[in-house]
Copies of this chain bind each other. A is one copy, B any other.
Amino acid sequence: MLDELKEECGVFGMSLVQPNEEIINNMYLGIFALQHRGQESCGIAYQNESIEVIKHSGLVAGKFFENLPRDVKASQAIGHVRYSTCGPSNLINAQPLVFSCNKGEIAVAHNGNIPNSEMLKSDLIQTGSIFQTSSDSEILVHLISRIPGKNFETSLVSALNQINGAYSMLLLHNNQLIALRDPYGFRPLCYGEIKGGIVFASETNALDIIGAKNIKEVEPGEIIFCHNGKIEKKHNMGSSKKAQCIFELIYFSRPDSKVFGETVHDFRLKIGACLAKKCQLKPDIVIPVPDSGNSAAMGFAREAAIPFDFGLIRNHYTGRTFIKPGQQKRVEGVRLKLNPVKTVINGKSIAVIDDSLVRGTTSSKIVEILKDAGAKEVHLFLSSPEIKYSCFFGIDTPTRKELISSKLKPEEIAAQIGADSVTFLTIEDLKISVENPGDYCYACFNCDYPFAINED
């Protein structure tokens, strides 16, 4: 409903020393903790004699929760939450997907996107493969299946070598749980130990919820094979220049997660401070667009020594709007979500901190809300640089034409959305805010894709 970037997935998996009847409950807790990474559908696959899968369109804690089998015991399981387009038939693309092939049964849950997938798919189709989903996982399993011989591990590695793109993945095969991350490391994947096993998750907050310790990252290019709670083997696909998605830190991941070695909240404090340094006026207060702007706004306020305050209150209940033909739903939805605290806003010069500007529709409405509440001036600060290019690695960006920053300069944007000023972070700011600035992808800001992309 809001004009936000959308993450495309979260994954969670467990490998336990012995079949455990708590596994379904813990899988549920894990994917529930990752719900912010995808609200469209969810699923859990676990391996007994064969691989069983339960999937649902909708939130983790709804019908899916109600229908979970309570008495399943298993040692290995993987789960998934997905953001996607609507409709009941989207269950066809819901993950984990389960395949039978000459390497046996394989379940796949993945986060990421393969930009050259259409080419791969086209080649596969030319040479006789058939497809039922639009998931990149299906491509991978076709590639695995094309490798001669029975060896799953070498086939997996060989198949991955044919894929160039973003994938953090969990697989089930022959009672093994396999976790892997592409050589660029676009999407996060971490793991930790629990009593009686190993747990993998897109973000550490999902490891926290079940009490995992000794948390590490799956390294870019690393493939980890687990069986019954133990890591049996690690394989390294070889390294590329890392290209971790900086937007995981800016916006997608939860502030309580540690991602790519950075605590998300701390990173946002730093970029908030960077924004403050660009602020040449002295606003009366700093407010976040909650909740994603909270940490950056705090960092801004500390650096600028301006009071931080809660000037906009978010309604966290899921809201919906009556659909009428021609109605601008995206704009109207903002009112359902955000309401101003008038005494905080009235008569003040406001620095409002939001994470990003996509089409500009939400920001335009936020400025209006603040001005209606009596703001003397509204200065919008974005804790990301100008998004001018599409992402091909797992984020749902609108087409370049729709990206407001690909068309307008900040001062033009300010004029269009009614703000007194609009200030963006720079790529340099991002770079000084992480430990290893060379390990990130900034392509949506600077078009510097880690490898050539054929756009169409």
Which residues of A are interface residues toward B (Cβ below 8 A)? 25, 28-29, 32-33, 35-36, 52-56, 59-61, 65, 67, 70, 88-89, 91, 97-102, 125-133, 138, 141-142, 145-146, 205, 208-209, 254-256, 258, 263, 265-266, 291, 294-295, 298, 302, 307-310, 312-313, 315-320, 322, 335-336, 339-344
B209 touches A335 (CB 8 A): yes
- Cβ-closest 7 pairs across A and B: A256-B313, A316-B316, A101-B130, A100-B131, A263-B343, A256-B339, A35-B317
Could you tell me the distance in whole angstroms from the C-beta of A358 to the nearest C-beta in chain B?
A: 21
Instruction: Closest B residue to A295 by CB, please name it.
Output: B310
How distant is A179 from chain B, measured CB to nearest CB, in Å?
A: 21
Q: Within the complex, which residue of B88, B313, B317 is in contact with A56, where a contact is CB–CB below 8 Å? A: B88
Residues of chain B with a CB closer than 8 A to A25's CB: 322
Given known contacts A25-B322, A61-B318, A89-B54, A341 and B263 CB-to-CB distance under 8 angstroms = yes
Contact of A70 among B128, B255, B318, B322 (CB under 8 A): B322
Instruction: Give min CB distance, A29 to chain B, whole Å.
Output: 7
Q: How far apart are the CA atoms of A254 and B263 in the complex, in Å?
A: 30
Contact A341 B256 (CB under 8 A): yes
A55/B88 in contact, CB under 8 A: yes
Also in contact, A265 and B343, with CB within 8 A (given A32-B317, A54-B89, A89-B55) = yes
Could you jot down 8 A-B contacts, CB within 8 Å? A32-B336, A55-B89, A67-B88, A99-B130, A132-B132, A255-B341, A263-B341, A295-B310
The interface residues of chain B lying within 8 Å CB-to-CB of A35 are 315, 317
Known contacts A99-B130, A256-B341; can you find 16 more A-B pairs with CB under 8 A? A53-B89, A55-B88, A65-B320, A91-B91, A99-B132, A100-B130, A128-B145, A130-B141, A205-B339, A208-B340, A255-B310, A256-B312, A256-B342, A258-B342, A298-B308, A316-B316
Q: How far is A98 from B319 in the complex, measured between Cα atoms in Å?
A: 27
Q: Whose C-beta in chain B lies nearest to the C-beta of A206?
A: B339
CA distance A317 to B33 in the complex (A): 9
Give the Cβ gap from A362 to chain B, nearest Cβ, in Å.
16
Q: Which residues from chain B contact A263 at a C-beta distance below 8 Å? A: 341-343
> A256 — which chain B residues lie within 8 A by C-beta?
312-313, 339-342
CB-CB < 8 A to A100: which residues of B? 125, 130-132
